[in-house]
Amino acid sequence: MEEAQVILDTVDKFLERDVAPYAKEFELADKYPHEIVEKMKLLGLFGATIGTEYGGMGLSASVYAGIVERVSAVWMSISGIFNSHLIMCTAIEKFGTEDLKERFLPRMATGELRGGIALTEPDCGTDLQAVRTRADRDGEYYVINGTKQWITNSVEGNVLAVLVKTNLNAEPRHRGMSLLIVEKSMGYEAHKLSKLGYRGVDTGEVVFNDVRVPAANLVGDAEGKGLQQILSGLALGRINVAARGVGVARAALDASINYAQIRETFGQPIGQHQAIQIKLADMATRVEAARLLTERAANAYDSGERCDMEAGMAKLFATEAAMDNANEALRIHGAYGYSPENEVERYYRDAPLLVVGEGTNELQRLIIARQLLEKNPA
């Protein structure tokens, strides 16, 4: 516990010194924060959850969630740079051969390789079984053709975990899906996409045109297991997104509390008006509830339990809390909140990503409901 607090305190100092003074500039310009990323490497954030035997920090999901909340309260975008990376690392560490782990995880732990997960396609998002990107076996290689979209770390990063079809005729469909580790040097192209929020971090369209990948880069010992492998990694990803939601919701609350004490109407600070007090009370309650749900999901993950329902609940509630708090913060700030000079405007643009990223909140509701029905049969 003491070691965890030292890590969190170190992250706080890094954010105060190296991120907070520059976040607005990078975000408004949609400029990739190379200098900040280099300092994130030195902090070990790219190896946060990777096992110590592969050069990582081996942090629990609980400590990791605490880091993500703190980062997201200052600048949510940069949490995505190491989240997508660590989802990929989790899939390799859980399911990869020892050769694959030794070839990739040590370099990923240092940030020498910065990765992402290439799942979504132009015509496929929530229904991952509908992916069309295919990988055909050619001797000791796979040849990949297809397009992925909205892929974090695809432009500035240098390696991707790519969900592909290796058997187009498999039934059920997921048995024809595999996960391949593809380095940018192998030939894929990535083009940056513009976004409403989540700016500064690169999100791109990735095109695979006869990209040859060694068969040894298949995750696991056989084809047909890719969907289950990446969904396992997404449990940690949803805890990350929930923690992001807590961070954004908290930042919106803190900004609103501060503003409510300095902005005056009718001869007194607006924080003295009951209408504003009610908003602040609801915002604070959402933050605390979201944090508790996120901690519960992280603890379940750390214990090795199946935690898709807990992670889904945390992701659902915390990201909706971020949306609600960002909206209320803008209303409390009035016209000032509508200006890009005010960070509240950024929270208002960033929060919508969280309700669609790592599985839409509509999907989370379905996952939760199905788990409830499984656990409580008639």
106 token code pair: 């040590």
Please indicate whether residue 3 is annotated as part of the active site: no
CB under 8 Å to 376, separation ≥6 — which residues? none
Cite the DSSP H helix spans in the chain: 2-14, 23-29, 34-43, 61-75, 77-95, 98-110, 226-262, 274-302, 308-333, 343-356, 361-375
Q: Rounded CA gap, 358 and 125, in Å?
A: 10
Eight-state DSSP code of residue 144? E
Choose, from 295, 358, 362, 374, the residue flagged as catalytic.
358
Question: Quick one: residue 159, left, alpha or beta (phi over 0 = left, psi -120 to 50 = alpha)?
Answer: beta
Angle at 86 between CA 326 and CA 159, to 5 degrees: 115
Task: With beta carbons less than 8 A apart as the criterion, state whether 135 and 143 touch.
Answer: yes
Q: Rounded CA gap, 54 and 101, in Å?
A: 8
Pairing state between β 203-214 and 141-152: antiparallel
Task: With beta carbons less than 8 A apart as the criterion, state whether 361 and 319 touch.
Answer: yes
CB under 8 Å to 328, separation ≥6 — which residues? 252, 256, 279, 282, 283
Q: Which residues are catalytic?
A: 358
